[in-house]
């Protein structure tokens, strides 16, 4: 099954790289690879929905058990039977001047059954003239009969973005009224405002907060540092997930040389190193990936896995912690690359080390992953397709 059309991919990719160049990123991504779905261990792809918009994240509604899917454009849809039903259109409040702007995250209130509230993360509407900068917003909204009521929207927090890219925006509910919110370094090449190493600024961080009674508050207490900041030193944490032992998996998009996955304790603060580090190495603004100097600074937490911009790779798309699935009986962190369409899983090997296993290729421009209400494994594409990964009957699922 071909999930992308070569001409369309090249057009979108040229627009995407052009916007990045405008923001000062001079690194040239390689051309994306386009292939048929080609996965190992008798894994196959089924195209559930054709291309329309850019779906990139999903959550199961705790009351109806239906899958809700968000789109960068501001659309929110519900997977009902074999169709996608519109639950909301936020396009009038969401900025789409730049490819990295839009509706970026959502999570159900832990008391959704009674409150009917959603938390939303998006770049607010702004002018497309000039710099196109606009705030990253965290807001709440009420759902009535599976329809989002925009008149109920309340802005809970706004973060000023100095540039139009590296917004992050992913939201993750921890199930106890506490949430994580990923925020990029504010954009531009080389972290020009040095937000990554600013432990007071929310840019380049994972924010940790509690939502209750229509307001947010920090979970942590601190007299000397910003109490909302749990982890910092990040460039653009596009997606992250929590594993079974209160560990947080963060996929951080690289710049010149390395895409990385960070594994940190859920609630112990850490500094992931950007923009002093990229991957395991000291960061170099000249874009050279040869003769790199490995960082010897112990104050930074090293990633557990990195990969370079070869074989058509260009930008990591963070995924999900997968357990007892067709992908891995042992459990592991599933992720992919935006350009190449390659998939991997990181699984625990021996002596608490992590082993990456290449699963194959599903075609280029992966923007997210999801799990259906019945455990379906979904992949979302920039061009709008939603595919499901399944396994042939009788195949051995333990591949790692």
DSSP for 290-321 reads SSPPBP--TTSPPPSEEEES-TT---EEEEEE
What distance in Å separates the CA atoms of residue 318 and residue 338, rounded to the nearest whole number? 10
Q: What is the mean pLDDT of the chain?
A: 88
How many CB atoms sit inside 10 A of residue 397's CB?
A: 15
Q: Which two tokens mark 291?
A: 């003769």
Is 336:259 a contact under the CB 8 Å cutoff?
Answer: no
What distance in Å separates the CA atoms of residue 166 and residue 195, rounded to the nearest whole number? 12
Average pLDDT, stretch 105-121? 98
pLDDT at 393: 64
What distance in Å separates the CA atoms of residue 379 and residue 126, rounded to the nearest whole number? 30
Give per-residue pLDDT as tens, 141-164. 999 999 999 999 999 999 999 999
Nearest residue to 312 (alpha-carbon basis) of 334, 341, 287: 341
Return all residues near 217 (Cβ < 8 A) that are at least 6 apart: 209, 210
Looking at the domain assignment, is residue 374 inside a domain?
yes
Q: Which domain holds residue 268?
A: 6-391
Task: Tell me: pLDDT of 349 over 80.
Answer: no
pTM of the model: 0.91
Is 369:320 a contact under the CB 8 Å cutoff?
Answer: yes
Q: Is the peptide bond before 275 cis (omega within 30 degrees of 0)?
A: yes
What distance in Å separates the CA atoms of residue 326 and residue 376, rounded to the nearest whole number? 10
CATH number of the domain residue 271 falls in: 2.120.10.30
Looking at the domain assignment, is residue 397 inside a domain?
no
Segment among 20-29, 141-150, 250-259, 337-346 with least mean pLDDT: 20-29
Give per-residue pLDDT as tens, 256-304. 999 999 999 998 999 999 999 999 999 988 888 876 778 888 899 999 9
Segment among 33-37, 197-201, 256-260, 355-359 with least mean pLDDT: 33-37
Average pLDDT, stretch 358-387? 94
Name which residue leads in pLDDT, 287 or 100: 100
Nearest residue to 306 (alpha-carbon basis) of 375, 255, 352: 255
Looking at the domain assignment, is residue 346 inside a domain?
yes
What distance in Å separates the CA atoms of residue 246 and residue 181, rounded to the nearest whole number? 16
Confidence label for 396 from pLDDT (cuts 50, 70 and 90): low
Confidence label for 52 from pLDDT (cuts 50, 70 and 90): confident
Average pLDDT, stretch 32-60? 86
Partners of residue 278 on adjacent β-strands = 281
Looking at the domain assignment, is residue 63 inside a domain?
yes
Cα 265 to its chain centre, rounded Å, is 19
Give per-residue pLDDT as tens, 214-246. 999 999 998 788 999 999 999 999 999 999 989
Confidence label for 395 from pLDDT (cuts 50, 70 and 90): low
What distance in Å separates the CA atoms of residue 14 and residue 30, rounded to the nearest whole number? 11
User: Which residue in this structure is represented by tokens 């405002």?
Assistant: 193
Looking at the domain assignment, is residue 398 inside a domain?
no
Task: Tell me: pLDDT of 53 over 70.
Answer: yes
Looking at the domain assignment, is residue 200 inside a domain?
yes
Nearest residue to 308 (alpha-carbon basis) of 292, 326, 328: 292
Element of type H or E holding 47: strand 43-49
Give per-residue pLDDT as tens, 63-97. 999 999 999 999 999 999 999 999 999 999 999 99
Query: Nearest-5° angle of CA 99, CA 169, CA 319?
Result: 90
Looking at the domain assignment, is residue 247 inside a domain?
yes
Looking at the domain assignment, is residue 368 inside a domain?
yes
What distance in Å separates the CA atoms of residue 246 and residue 251, rounded to the nearest whole number? 16
Q: Give the count of domains, the chain.
A: 1
pLDDT at 120: 98
Give per-residue pLDDT as tens, 128-139. 988 888 999 999
């Amino acid at each position: 099954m071909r999930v992308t059309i070569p001409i369309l991919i090249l057009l979108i990719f040229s627009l995407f790289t052009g916007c990045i160049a405008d923001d000062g990123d001079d690194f040239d991504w390689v051309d994306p690879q386009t292939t048929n779905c080609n996965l190992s261990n008798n894994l196959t792809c089924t195209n559930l929905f054709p291309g329309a918009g850019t779906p990139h994240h999903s959550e199961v509604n705790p009351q109806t058990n239906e899958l809700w899917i968000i789109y960068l454009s501001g659309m929110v849809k519900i997977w009902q039977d074999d169709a996608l039903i519109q639950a909301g259109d936020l396009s009038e409040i969401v900025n789409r001047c730049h490819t990295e702007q839009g509706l970026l995250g959502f999570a159900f209130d832990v008391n959704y059954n009674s409150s009917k509230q959603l938390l939303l993360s998006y770049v607010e509407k702004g002018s497309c003239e000039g710099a196109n900068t606009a705030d990253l917003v965290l807001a709440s909204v009420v759902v009535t009969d599976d329809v989002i009521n925009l008149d109920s929207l309340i802005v809970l927090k706004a973060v000023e973005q100095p540039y139009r890219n590296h917004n992050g925006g992913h939201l993750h509910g921890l199930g106890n009224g506490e949430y994580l919110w990923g925020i990029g370094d504010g954009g531009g090449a080389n972290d020009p405002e040095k937000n990554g190493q600013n432990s007071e600024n929310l840019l380049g961080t994972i924010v940790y907060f509690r939502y209750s009674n229509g307001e947010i508050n920090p979970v942590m207490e601190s007299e000397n540092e910003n109490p909302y900041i749990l982890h910092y030193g990040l460039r653009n944490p596009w997606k992250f997930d929590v594993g079974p032992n209160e560990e947080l998996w963060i996929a951080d998009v690289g710049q010149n040389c390395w895409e990385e996955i960070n594994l940190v304790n859920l609630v112990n603060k850490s500094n992931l190193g950007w923009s002093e580090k990229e991957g395991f190495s000291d960061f170099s603004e000249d874009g050279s990936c040869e003769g790199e100097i490995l960082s010897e600074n112990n104050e930074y937490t090293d990633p557990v896995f990195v990969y370079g911009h070869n074989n058509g790779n260009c930008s990591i798309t963070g995924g999900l912690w997968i357990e007892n699935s067709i992908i891995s009986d042992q459990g592991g962190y599933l992720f992919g690359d935006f350009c190449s369409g390659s998939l991997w899983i990181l699984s625990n090997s021996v002596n608490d080390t992590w082993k990456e296993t290449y699963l194959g290729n599903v075609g280029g421009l992966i923007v997210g992953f999801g799990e259906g209400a019945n455990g379906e494994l979904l992949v979302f594409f920039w061009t709008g397709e939603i595919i499901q990964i399944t396994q042939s009957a009788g195949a051995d699922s333990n591949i790692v």
